[in-house]
Structure 1
Amino acid sequence: MLVMFDMDGTLIDTQSLICEHMATAFRGADLPAPTPEEVRRIIGLSLPVAIERLAGSQDDSLINRLVEDYKEHYRASLVGGSDREGLFPGARTSLDALRAEPDYVLGIATGKGLAGVSRILELHSLGDHFTTLQTPDHNPSKPHPGMLLRAMDETGAATSETVMVGDTVFDIELGRAAGVATIGVTWGYHDPADLVAAGADAMIDHFSDLAPVIRRLMD
Structure 2
Amino acid sequence: MALVMFDYDGVIVDSLAQFTNNFIRACRENGFLGLKSQEDALALFDGNVYETLARFGVDAVTINKILVRYEELAKGYLDKIRLFPGMGQALERIAEQNTIYIITSNISSVPVKVLGKHGISCFKEVLGAEKEKSKIKKIQSTIKKHPELPAFYVGDTRGDIIEGREGGASTVGVTWGWHGAQKLKEVFPDYLVETPEELAELLSEKSKQSEE
* TM-score between both structures, scaled by the size of structure 1: 0.80
SS at match of 1:95: helix
Decide which moves more: 58-67 or 107-116.
Answer: 58-67
Q: Does the CA-based 8 Å contact 1:23-1:34 persist in structure 2?
A: yes
| Residue in structure 1 matching 2:163, options 170, 174, 180 | 174
Distance change >3 Å, CA 194–CA 21, structure 1 → 2? same
Question: Could you tell me which residue of structure 1 aligns to residue 179 of structure 2?
Answer: 190
Q: Does the CA-based 8 Å contact 1:132-1:155 persist in structure 2?
A: no
- Deviation digits for residues 32-78 of structure 1 (CA, Å, limit 9, x no counterpart): 6521111122259777546546xx32345654544443333222x23
Note the aligned Cα RMSD (angstroms): 2.6
1:135 CA drift (Å): 2.4
**Aligned mates of 1:180, 1:49 — CA distance in 2:** 20
1:4 CA drift (Å): 1.1
| Residue in structure 1 matching 2:101, options 98, 107, 111 | 107
Question: Could you tell me which residue of structure 2 aligns to residue 92 of structure 1?
Answer: 88
Question: Could you tell me which residue of structure 1 aligns to residue 39 of structure 2?
Answer: 37
Question: Could you tell me which residue of structure 2 aligns to residue 11 of structure 1?
Answer: 12
Letter in 1 for 2:196: F
Distance change >3 Å, CA 29–CA 64, structure 1 → 2? same
SS at match of 1:182: strand
SS at match of 1:138: coil
Distance change >3 Å, CA 175–CA 62, structure 1 → 2? closer
Question: Could you tell me which residue of structure 1 aligns to residue 22 of structure 2?
Answer: 21
SS at match of 2:188: coil
**Aligned mates of 2:168, 2:34 — CA distance in 1:** 39
The percentage of aligned residue pairs carrying the same residue is: 25
Letter in 2 for 1:148: I
Question: Could you tell me which residue of structure 2 aligns to residue 151 of structure 1?
Answer: 142
**Aligned mates of 1:22, 1:137 — CA distance in 2:** 15
| Residue in structure 2 matching 1:118, options 88, 112, 125 | 112
Residue ranges of structure 2 left out of the alignment (5+ in a row): none
Letter in 1 for 2:43: R
Question: Could you tell me which residue of structure 1 aligns to residue 74 of structure 2?
Answer: 74
| Residue in structure 1 matching 2:132, options 135, 139, 145 | 139
**Aligned mates of 2:127, 2:187 — CA distance in 1:** 22
1:192 CA drift (Å): 2.0
**Aligned mates of 2:65, 2:14 — CA distance in 1:** 26
1:190 CA drift (Å): 1.2
Residue ranges of structure 1 left out of the alignment (5+ in a row): none
Decide which moves more: 8-17 or 115-124.
Answer: 115-124
Decide which moves more: 171-180 or 89-98.
Answer: 171-180
1:119 CA drift (Å): 1.6
1:195 CA drift (Å): 1.6
SS at match of 1:208: helix
The count of corresponding residues between Structure 1 and Structure 2 is 206
**Aligned mates of 1:113, 1:200 — CA distance in 2:** 25
Distance change >3 Å, CA 59–CA 177, structure 1 → 2? closer
